[in-house]
Amino acid sequence: MARMRAESIGRPDGAQSLEYLADVGADGQPRFARSEADAAPLFQDYGPGGSPSNCMGELGVDWNRFVKRWIMLYNCLNNTPEHPRGIQMRVAEHPWGPWSEAQTIFNPVRDHGYCYFIHRAIDARNPQKCDDLAGPGLEGVWGGEYAPYFISRFTTGDEAQGTSTFYYTMATWIPYTQVVMRSTIRISP
């Protein structure tokens, strides 16, 4: 995580004023450093067998006033039972964390992405064609999802109930397109 002071934005030397999250003190306050080498990770994703796996691709982060949390969406290609392929969500009260465990909010198998708006490969496990989404020569290649970016102006919710519905775009390949997605969450007090 990095930050830049508002007065530095747009200045030719603005990048020189970047500060990187180095750690979070016992009091919960972040400490920033000038050197990127001092940057600390916000969290760790894990792959098969619990081994560290930095799987994060493109991400979107937004403050949600209805649940009073930062929400992070990102694509993760671990494809494990713990974190199936798709779009992951984490929440935090502060942008520096602590961030919740990842939760899969879109899975192309569970949520009917394959065969509807993402191509499912024709292979030994799936010999039957289920869509016409692949171009010539791509019938045997799986499509996928990535780049979840919030459409903040359409976010709704109920502060008292701790619920929110938010929209985001999700890019796909095979076919290359953008899909508007909607998720509803509830944060426990």
Could you give the CA distance from residue 66 to residue 60 in angstroms, rounded to a whole number? 18
Give how many domains the chain has, as a whole number.
Answer: 2
User: CA 104, CA 90: separation in Å to the nearest integer?
Assistant: 9
| Percent of the chain whose predicted confidence (pLDDT) is above 70 | 96
pLDDT higher than threshold 90 for residue 52: no
> Cα–Cα distance between 130 and 101 in angstroms, integer?
34
At 85-103, the pLDDT tens digits run 899 999 999 999 999 998 9
Residue 48 in this model has a pLDDT that exceeds 80? no
Query: How far is 122 from 97, CA to CA, in rounded Å?
Result: 42
Q: How far apart are CA 72 and CA 35, in angstroms?
A: 25
Does residue 81 share a domain with residue 171?
yes
Q: Over range 32-52, report the average pLDDT.
A: 86
- Both 133 and 54 in a single domain? yes
Specify whether 167 is located in the same domain as 98: yes
pLDDT in the model for residue 5: 87
- Residues 6 or more apart in contact with residue 67 via CB below 8 angstroms: 91, 157, 162, 163, 164, 185, 186, 187
Same structural domain, 35 and 108: no
Same domain, 27 and 87: no
Q: Is the pLDDT of residue 82 over 70?
A: no
pLDDT digits (tens, 9 = 90+) for 138-162: 999 999 999 999 999 999 999 999 9
Tokens of 178: 């953008």
When pLDDT is cut at 50, 70 and 90, the band that residue 168 belongs to is very high
Q: Is residue 98 located within the same domain as residue 32?
A: no
Q: Are residues 20 and 52 in the same domain?
A: no
Q: Which residues are CB-contacts of 163 (< 8 A; sequence separation ≥ 6)? A: 66, 67, 157, 184, 185, 186, 187
Average pLDDT over residues 164-186: 97
| Residue 76 confidence class, pLDDT cut points 50, 70, 90 | confident
| 117/131 same-domain check | yes
**How would you class 90 by CB atoms within 10 Å of its CB: exposed for 0-12, middle for 13-18, buried for 19 or more?**
buried
Q: Does the pTM of the predicted model rise above 0.75?
A: yes
124, 59, 69: which is closest to 100 by C-alpha? 69
Cβ–Cβ < 8 Å for 164, 185: yes
Residue 24 has pLDDT above 80, yes or no: yes
Instruction: Based on the fold, state whether residues 79 and 9 are members of the same structural domain.
Output: no
Evaluate if residue 56 carries a pLDDT over 90. Answer: no
Q: What is the pLDDT of residues 108-145, one digit of tens each?
A: 999 999 999 999 999 999 999 999 999 999 999 999 99
Do 107 and 124 fall into the same domain?
A: yes
What is the mean pLDDT of the segment spanning 34-50? 86
